[in-house]
Structure 1
């Protein structure tokens, strides 16, 4: 087993990565189960694929499972209210550990519910998608979506433990796997050009289910995120903001598609990263060859690299209007994650939204 620690002082927690971990989850969770009972939340797709296996791995622990609809629509006020009511009806206490078995939607929703029920109870992440395993299950960002945009209602609330079983990815569809891979590539583009080289050489094997490639990508990604979160947990400095590479453009694309299955989060991030690099090149910050290399690699694995490929035809002004609701907006100005090259991402605070709109319109042209 690989164990990576998210170092946050008294709130530090382990991230365990091991094939078959779901089959022995009870050994890890038994000390966290009050009176041998656990409250678990999942969605219909994960329940069909993994819930029986999880129950068998937790033999001897009573599992109260709440099964929600799959998809981004579950990150809503209505589902949050229903879930918190169920938690209170069951008798969740502050010392309990609620289990989030699922992808990023379930992790975000359960984390936020756990942050607010009785002013905060514990939760455990058991991520079942590549995207959740390499990104959203680690770091303590929890949220639901609002009419104005994605993840605008939430809280920082760290899990007590993260259990990652790469074997669960065997049941994941190819589209969801590719979407998760976008978040893997992100770590190379932020500050690890050697890892981006590795991604170029090994993406095919990883996406085809090669166990060694999959484990390496997950561990390398978690190590990178744990390091950054440990340095800047609440994004009060520019360090953790680097994890948002591709997200400002990507969230605008998601908003334009209604946060629906038309565009998965990882697909939006892929297009957003390609746009960020091309915008950086247009501003003279980044070599055009680097921007082209990023787009070429993402396209090679079947991910969108433009608004058009993400099925978005809106004008630049429309997309920028979505960006204006970004939670990172400060003093009327929105920081952008741009790049001076592969592995050289930085926070730019001098970007004019009108310039971004003009760039997006040039992309349409």
Structure 2
């Protein structure tokens, strides 16, 4: 494997600024980087899959740097982003005597990062935290930007807080053992950045996706470029009052599918929902006369080439009726005044925020996609 330097992606948010480090083998050197933040203690929040692989080594690395370090593991899976799990994690942080100047370290995928970050945001009204994402999806998306939260019976990520990490360590070597399904799911978020506003990056993805999956230098570049793209949006709009909503391209559809499948990862994981959602967003844009059909076909062809689902019919067990889908969308955070807001596209790399889309237009489109028309 060719050697590559560690890539640093700054997130310049004033007194909340931090760095994202991207590269192979970063976990082995995590102790000094985390210790440099000046904490006296840390609690590592992980899950029962990742913990046995990496948590002990990370705790020992922190202890060698003079930090008091403990570990707490949660059950893997999207269902863990719940009120009950939040209570357990908050209690674990308090039991570990973590003070405001200490650290919560999120070691895991997006579920662990969202849950641990939310606990860090609310315990003692805010303690510092570090993201050590172990999945591609977490490295390119959920670990960056300070969105934390849990799910409610009413929908995904509806309870949460904006709380920026103090450091993000994206060790791309950790992805070598990631199941192919999880790699594909994370890759949907990589592609999203090209579709939003960087057609050249989408071109790059089409040409280099195999290297991203196999672990070549292309993987580091894909993670770093995704982080640069997200960081740029977060700096412009930290609390999603404007441009940051563009990062939700494909997510209005995707989150609805996750809710309908009851967050059952055996049927659908987040990145798969996003992949279908990206294709639906482009096809919906075509149906509205906004986007060339060739661009939607190109998006679908690329995602399908990587093994990702692209159609509602690809959801195992089905995705319900049009009314089921509309009801799920109605709980989306992007609903305002009862009207749906979508991120639509005029072409690849030309996405925009489209508020107030008439429900009947959505209904007609979904009917054509489900065969109910």
How far, CA to CA, are the matches of 1:85 and 1:313 in structure 2? 37
**1:25-64 correspondence runs (5 A):** 25-32=30-37, 34-35=39-40, 37-60=41-64, 61-64=67-70
Note closer, same or farther for the CA distance 1:101–1:283 as it changes in structure 2 (3 Å cut): same
How far, CA to CA, are the matches of 2:37 and 2:45 in structure 1? 16
- Who is 1:177 aligned against? 183
Give the 4+ runs in structure 1 shifted more than 6 A: none
Match of 1:2 among 4, 7, 10: 7
Match of 1:195 among 188, 191, 201: 201
Q: Is the Cα contact below 8 Å between 1:33 and 1:97 reproduced in 2?
A: no
**1:134 paired to 2:152:** no
- Who is 1:359 aligned against? 365
Q: 1:354: how far off?
A: 2.5
Match of 1:120 among 126, 140, 163: 126
- Who is 1:207 aligned against? 213
Note closer, same or farther for the CA distance 1:254–1:220 as it changes in structure 2 (3 Å cut): same
**1:339 paired to 2:323:** no
1:63-112 CA-to-partner distances (Å, cap 9, x unmatched) read 20001110101100000011111111221211111100000000000111
- Who is 1:232 aligned against? 237
- Who is 1:244 aligned against? 248
How far, CA to CA, are the matches of 1:183 and 1:327 in structure 2? 19
**1:263-302 correspondence runs (5 A):** 263-302=268-307
1:330-351 CA-to-partner distances (Å, cap 9, x unmatched) read 1222210000000000011131
Q: Is the Cα contact below 8 Å between 2:257 and 2:319 reproduced in 1?
A: no
How far, CA to CA, are the matches of 1:151 and 1:5 in structure 2? 26
Q: Bigger shift: 181-190 or 196-205?
A: 196-205
Q: 1:51: how far off?
A: 2.0
How far, CA to CA, are the matches of 1:5 and 1:352 in structure 2? 40
How far, CA to CA, are the matches of 1:307 and 1:6 in structure 2? 36
Q: 1:3: how far off?
A: 1.1
Q: Is the Cα contact below 8 Å between 1:24 and 1:58 reproduced in 2?
A: no
- Who is 1:71 aligned against? 77
Q: Secondary structure at the match of 2:43?
A: strand
**1:306-317 correspondence runs (5 A):** 306-311=311-316, 312-317=318-323
Supply the RMSD in Å over aligned alpha carbons.
Answer: 1.2
Q: Secondary structure at the match of 1:336?
A: strand
Q: Is the Cα contact below 8 Å between 2:208 and 2:218 reproduced in 1?
A: yes
Q: Secondary structure at the match of 2:356?
A: coil
- Who is 1:186 aligned against? 192
Q: Is the Cα contact below 8 Å between 1:23 and 1:56 reproduced in 2?
A: no
Q: 1:59: how far off?
A: 4.8
Q: 1:18: how far off?
A: 2.3
Q: 1:49: how far off?
A: 2.4
Q: TM-score, normalised by structure 2?
A: 0.95
Q: Is the Cα contact below 8 Å between 1:17 and 1:164 reproduced in 2?
A: yes
Q: Is the Cα contact below 8 Å between 1:111 and 1:142 reproduced in 2?
A: yes
Q: Is the Cα contact below 8 Å between 2:173 and 2:215 reproduced in 1?
A: no
Q: 1:204: how far off?
A: 1.6
Q: Secondary structure at the match of 1:308?
A: helix
Q: 1:301: how far off?
A: 0.5
Note the residue ranges of structure 1 that are not aligned, 5 or more in a row: none
How far, CA to CA, are the matches of 2:331 and 2:356 in structure 1? 18
Q: 1:176: how far off?
A: 0.3
- Who is 1:104 aligned against? 110
How far, CA to CA, are the matches of 1:3 and 1:34 in structure 2? 22
Note closer, same or farther for the CA distance 1:87–1:56 as it changes in structure 2 (3 Å cut): closer
